[in-house]
Amino acid sequence: MAKLSEKYNDSCIKIFEFLKLLYNDEATYEKVTQLLAVNYDEKMTTAVLLNKYLNTLKVFGIKIKKKNHKFHMLNSPFKIPFDKIDLQSIMLFKNSLNLLSDEKTKNKLEELLSSLFIRFDENAKTYVESLDNNSYIDLSFFYSKFETQIELCEKYIKEGQKVEITYQEKNKPEITLIGIPVELKYYRKKICYVIHSQKDGFNTEIPIDKIINMKQSCQTVSQGLSTTVVYRLKGSLAKSYKLKEYEYLERSEAGGSIIVVNKGEDCDILLSRLIRYNECCEIISPKSLKEKLRQTIDRMLSNYDN
């Protein structure tokens, strides 16, 4: 009887280990069969042994699907009570993935969504199926409608040249703005072109559906101006640093350093600030600004050669 209890205990532990692999999306055929075969003395084929555990999970309402030599959990024994607002937000997020160009980021977010979907209860599944995706949360129609204009905006951002834009808001006069294209911002059913005005130092968000005309300006960009600068801040500065206008945090690193992205700030002004951070700051890109900083430091050091 003791041996029988020990065998049952071992089987229960394997069930939980199997569930752990499924939740972590690590349930490859090789890992699962190796797990289930440990300490199993009876003469039983792998297929029969595997079906035994799959049927056990099925009894508890857990559905498993095998695809490309890997097992996937289609539902979870643990449900999250999402309300309608939660579900609408999740589906909006899901449909917005089509706008992402970075495949790595897109795949990571799809994994996150999959982990949420398996935790839907039956009411959540029914509600999600009833949502009218085309009229409520599908953003692809808006992207397609302005695809050519978006590509032109992205082209101007990469080239970093000044643009002259004429646009008109509803019931307002036409406005012509000359500035540096910074980025495209995606909102729900609205895409804005962010333009940095060197004259007043502010960024203006222009809905692309309000743009009447857009062309590269004959005015040249100030030599000190750069669209995007990326730098690493280290040590105590990284811990206490407060993001400035034009900046956002790209990521934190294991050693405590942070990567900051600066878009739109005049490079001469930015450089004079970064140089004060001494060894706590490292410019990552662009290379031209790294070289400019090095030359500035060399000129400073030359004052002390004699």
Whether residues 65 and 124 fall in one domain: no
Q: Does residue 292 fall inside a structural domain?
A: yes
Average model confidence (pLDDT) across the chain = 79
The CATH number of the domain holding residue 188 is 2.30.30.520
Residue 166 domain flag: yes
Q: Which domain holds residue 257?
A: 228-302
- Is 221 a domain residue? no
**Is 244 inside a domain boundary?**
yes
> Do 203 and 239 belong to one domain?
no
Q: Is 233 in the same domain as 298? A: yes
CA torsion angle for 236, 291, 271, 229 (degrees, to 10)? -80
Query: Using CA atoms in the order 213, 218, 219, 220, what is the torsion angle rounded to 10 degrees?
Result: 120
Q: Are residues 232 and 289 in the same domain?
A: yes
> Of 24, 39, 73, which residue sits at a domain end?
73
65 in a domain, yes or no? yes
Question: Mutual orientation of helices 29-37 and 2-23 as an angle, nearest 10°?
Answer: 170
pLDDT at position 212 is: 92
- Whether residue 11 is found in the same domain as residue 63: yes
pLDDT on residue 134: 42
Q: Which residues of the chain fall short of a pLDDT of 70?
A: 1-8, 38-44, 101, 131-144, 188-189, 198-201, 218-227, 306
Identify whether residues 211 and 157 lie together within a single domain: yes
How many domains does one find in the chain?
Answer: 4
Q: Is 136 helix (H, G, I), strand (E, B) or coil?
A: helix
Domain finish residue from 42, 73, 104 = 73
Amino acid 7: pLDDT? 64
> Residue ranges of the alpha helices (H) in the chain?
2-23, 29-37, 46-59, 84-96, 103-117, 122-130, 133-136, 140-145, 147-159, 235-240, 267-274, 287-302
Identify whether residues 287 and 232 lie together within a single domain. Answer: yes
pTM of the predicted structure, to 2 decimals: 0.34
Q: What is the pLDDT of residues 206-216, one digit of tens each?
A: 998 899 999 88
In a domain, 59, yes or no: yes
Structure confidence at residue 57 (pLDDT): 81
Does 132 reside within a domain?
yes
- Residue 110: phi and psi, rounded to 5, are -65, -35
Domain boundary among the residues 45, 73, 101 is at: 73
Residue-wise pLDDT for 46-66, tens only, equals: 777 788 888 888 887 788 888
Query: What integer pLDDT is reported at residue 40 of this predicted model?
Result: 61
